[in-house]
Structure 1
Amino acid sequence: MEEAKVTFYDVERCGLYEYGSDDSTLGELSTFLNQLKSWVQRDGKSLDETCTYAIEESEDVDRTFCYDLVNNGVTGDFVLTTWNETPSYEGKVAAVKAKSKVGDAKVEFTKIPKDSIPGYATYFWFIPSKGVFATIRFQHRLNGKKNLDKYFKEFISKFSDYVVLSEDGDADFNIIGYSDSDDDEPMNLHSHFRTAIVRKPGQIKYILSQRSNIRKIVRHNRLSPKLEESQEFWQKALLNLGLKKQRKLNSEVNFSYEFSYSPTEKELKEMVSEWEEGHDSKWDDIGFILKGEQVPRWLSNSLARDQFDLDVKRIDEEIVDAVSLLEKLTEKRDLILALLE
């Protein structure tokens, strides 16, 4: 039995669109998932041929590959396992000794097996009938969702069955448009795969309605050694504890603090709005303690997210078997989908 962290996302746009249109001209989520399944299995394709995009220097995502894709013919659900590449240099991955002194850390290199791709697996449960998907996290903190957005959008635009190619041009393949059949004139369309975390408005509405009863605010956050403001906050926290010697923050630290405060209507709305822009981690959360209550009402409770025990099978320490995962998700489908209500 393993603990699976499930977070739901709405699929707001998925398909090939005319410029300026809000409605897809060609394709929908289930169609593209079936097309992706056919594409990755076509002609004995190897895993390293399943990345759908090239890396641009300005981008902060590495390559993503399809490790596995399975579906349930009854529910219409899919489980997609992606393999997310991690940086390497000339066939080696670098690491530093954790206890090294700052400025004098020894770097060690581990050779990657020939023709291997260093990385980690992530899992996605698609429910096309609901227009949603969920990230399923096991041992990793990263859910791969940012990579998925790019992977799927690029698949739609380059490799879906709607792509019309021309033999003219200098590129390896030249896309001249999109059509539903060989007899149709190619259309000038562009791909979209836009998603957003599912938020349930009830909790936030209640907090806003109880503004005058808020007596304390609690904040969960995570300090990162990469951020200057985190380093400053860390030093101030040490001083408040009576530790005057400066100690550099070398790893991420989770912390909480609370204070008595009754926000104005404008302040409360600004706090909620700022948090809603992209905070989906329990360690980036705001809670409000109301008069007569001792337990905070967390903004994160408005997210369609929870943890479930799944009796999945593992292929090895890194990979959960996709068929097993889909079977166990199907067994608890109604229970898990209750998060959307």
Structure 2
Amino acid sequence: MLQSGYINFFEVNKCGLYRLFNETPKALELEETIAKLKDWKEGRNFEATNPWDPKRNRNKTPCFCHEIHHNENTGDFLLVLWKGDSDRHGPLYGITINPDGSTEKAIKQTQTNSKKPMVWGRPSYYWVIPELNIIASIKFENSRCDSAMFQDWVTGCINLRVDLPDHKKTLTEKGFTRIQMPDGDADQYRYSFQFDLSMKSLSTSSAEMTELTKRVTHIIRRETVTIKNVDKRKGFAKFFQRFEVPYISAENQSTRRVELKIEAKPTVEEIKQIITQYASDHEAGTWEDVGFSVDNTTKTVWASKYRLTENISVEDHGEPILTAERLYATILGNRDKYLDPIRKDLELDSIKQAAAHA
């Protein structure tokens, strides 16, 4: 059976060891970081790949590493993480933990009768492309995408679990990890590991983005708001209860879809920021969205149009969870198709930066 999903691309803004106020990493850039995670994962039992002590971090969502696949020809990595989750997001899957720490194949919660310990959750798929300093999340119906969790997991593993024989780790009084060069190295500054992603959208140098800027007259924002309880999210949604709206009842439906339209003339940089912020907070295909009215008409151009996304279909062979190798084989067959728009966009950015420094 084919599983259909979509790919969202993220820029790696930071990955490595950084000194305070310094934007250039000393070591542990993207390829080296993921390679160290792969080496650390091999031979380690499944439950030991959650970087946080569950007893001390009860409020932190557990995240485990199921697989890391590396393609030596392209340099790409494919990670399958396992996000602890609740059943309110759909059917849960369980991974059986054997006494030796090994795992069996994942099965649906409704199909299990095993008495062995289970770790419940859903898979999360991440494609790492060091060549372009890009990471892609891959979302299917039965998987989860959480870029914040991914960033936390990578940072937590490097800071708390992964051995760094070429460096030495120390803990500050407040519990922060600081990393130094080994004794005898002239550089004895203390560094912190940082890993930061942001959604990849079209470059501000692109003709499409420039043309959109000339035509925008209003910004449109859609949200789903509650009419029963106070909405604690940021933005206008939390003020919705202050308005008396006729013909609605909290008895038959606790949420309402709200659309706000504001007159505005954003710059191209502001439009890119709006698109990036929307993309990081919302999933594609939902009511919640951000868009732009153009030419003083009713026509709306939605921000999702300017996100660099791709569709993907993978044969699952009847298994609910895709293996890293099988998923990457599908990606590899379409790799240039997926990456050429990003290469083109990065080239535009490079030309723009060169012109600015000419």
Q: After TM superposition, is the score higher than 0.5?
A: yes
Q: Secondary structure at the match of 2:118?
A: coil
Q: Distance in 2 between matches of 1:39 and 1:190?
A: 20
1:324 equivalent in structure 2: 326
Match of 1:126 in 2: 128
CA contact (8 A) 1:305 1:339 kept: no
Q: Among residues 227, 230, 236, which one is paired with 1:228 in the alignment?
A: 230
Paired position in structure 2 for 1:299: 303
Which residue of structure 2 aligns with residue 99 of structure 1? none
Tell me the secondary structure at the aligned position of residue 26 of structure 2: strand
* Distance change in 2, residues 1:322/1:176 (3 Å): closer
User: Distance in 1 between the 2:252 and 2:243 partners?
Assistant: 12
Q: What residue is the counterpart of 1:62 in the other structure?
A: 61
Could you say what secondary structure the match of 1:192 adopts? strand
Please point out which of 214, 220, 230 is paired with 1:209. Answer: 214
Name 2:289's counterpart in structure 1: 285
Deviations 1:117-152 (A, max 9, x none): 221110000000000100001014740221110111
What amino acid sits opposite 1:61 in the alignment? Answer: K
Label 1:22 to 1:7 Cα distance change in 2 as closer, same or farther (>3 A).
same
Counterpart of 1:208, as a letter, is: T
Counterparts of 2:34 and 2:291 in 1: how far apart (Å)?
Answer: 38
Please state how far the C-alpha of 1:84 moved relative to its aligned partner.
1.1
**Distance of aligned partners of 1:81 and 1:141 in 2 relative to their CA distance in 1, 3 Å threshold:** closer
Contact 2:123 2:143 in 1 (8 A): no
- One-letter amino acid of the counterpart of residue 46, structure 2: L
Q: Is the 1:36–1:160 contact (alpha carbons within 8 Å) kept by the matching residues of 2?
A: no
Matched, 1:74 2:73: yes
The alignment partner of 1:118 has SS state of strand
Distance (whole Å) between structure 2 residues aligned to residue 269 and residue 74 of structure 1: 37
8 Å CA contact 2:221–2:291 kept in 1: the answer is: yes
Q: Is the 8 A contact 1:10 1:133 kept in 2?
A: yes
**1:24 is paired with a residue of what secondary structure?**
coil
What is the distance in 1 between the residues matched to 2:180 and 2:119?
33
Identity %: 17
How many Å separate the matches in 2 of 1:302 and 1:17?
Answer: 32
The TM-score, its normalising length taken from structure 1, stands at 0.72
Q: Deviations over 1:282-327 (max 9, x none)?
A: 4332233434976421222222223x2322335732x111111001
Match of 1:105?
none
In structure 2, the residue corresponding to 1:117 is in which secondary structure?
strand
The 3-state SS of whatever aligns with 2:328 is helix
Query: 1:161 is paired with a residue of what secondary structure?
Result: coil
Secondary structure of the structure 1 residue equivalent to 2:41: helix
Alpha carbons 1:66, 1:81 under 8 Å: kept: yes
Confirm or deny: 8 A CA contact 1:112 1:118 kept in the other structure. no
Report if aligned partners of 1:62, 1:87 keep a CA contact under 8 Å in 2. Answer: no
The one-letter amino acid of 2:60's match is V
- Residue in 2 that maps onto 1:156: 158
| Residue 313 (structure 2) pairs with residue 310 (structure 1) | yes
TM-score by length of 2: 0.69
Q: Which amino acid aligns with 1:310?
A: S
Q: How much has 1:17 moved relative to structure 2?
A: 1.8
Unmatched runs of 5 consecutive residues or more in structure 2: 93-111, 172-176, 232-236, 346-358
Shift of the 112–219 alpha-carbon distance from structure 1 to 2, 3 Å rule, reads farther
Q: Root-mean-square deviation (CA), in Å?
A: 4.1
Q: Give distance in 2, aligned partners of 1:46 and 1:123.
A: 19
- Asked whether the 8 Å contact 1:310–1:329 carries over to 2, the reply is no
Q: How far off is 1:45 after superposition? A: 1.4
Uncovered stretches (5+) of structure 1, i.e. residues with no partner:
94-109, 170-174
1:54: how far off?
A: 3.4
- Equivalent residue, structure 2, for 1:18: 19
Shift of 1:221: 2.9
Return 222-231 or 9-18, whichever deviates more: 222-231
